Amino acid sequence: MVWCRCGRVCIVKTSWTDAHPGRRFYSCPIERSRCGWIDWVDPPMCERAVQIIPGLLRARNRHENAIQELTRQVRKMKMYLILSWLGFISIVVMYILA
């Protein structure tokens, strides 16, 4: 068990910076605490992983954003389809009743 400078038990967080992608570290359990970084949990990553992981994370984020945009477009198209069918049905009903 690792103790923080403020006397609390540390929690383990993961760094996603370009310098230390995926590396875990001990931190104060209080959000925005002034205790700061305590110590690393994992040994340093190999240079190849440090080079590759940030690019993979950026690519994943781009894909997630593209999925969200496509999801919004699908919802929009579904709404257009529903509205067009409602318009069509209302025209047919008006034609039949006339």
Cα separation, 37 vs 27, whole angstroms = 5
Distance CA 14, CA 82 (A): 45
Q: Are strands 11-15 and 23-27 parallel, antiparallel or unpaired?
A: antiparallel
Asked whether the predicted pLDDT for residue 38 surpasses 80, the reply is no
pLDDT score, position 31 = 82
Could you read off the pLDDT of 45-96 as tens digits, one per residue? 788 888 888 889 899 999 999 999 999 999 999 999 999 999 999 999 999 9
At residue 16, does pLDDT exceed 90?
A: no
Cβ–Cβ < 8 Å for 23, 40: yes
Is residue 28 exposed (0-12), middle (13-18) or buried (19+ Cβ within 10 Å)?
Answer: buried
Position 51 scores a pLDDT of: 85
Does 35 score more than 90 pLDDT? no
Between the alpha carbon of residue 98 and those of residues 86, 89, 90, 91, 95, the distances in Å are 18, 14, 12, 10, 5
Whether residue 18 is predicted with pLDDT greater than 90 in this model: the reply is no
Residue with tokens 């240079």: 47
Rounded to an integer, what distance in angstroms lies between the CA atom of residue 27 and that of residue 11? 5
Domain boundaries along the sequence of the chain: 1-45, 46-98
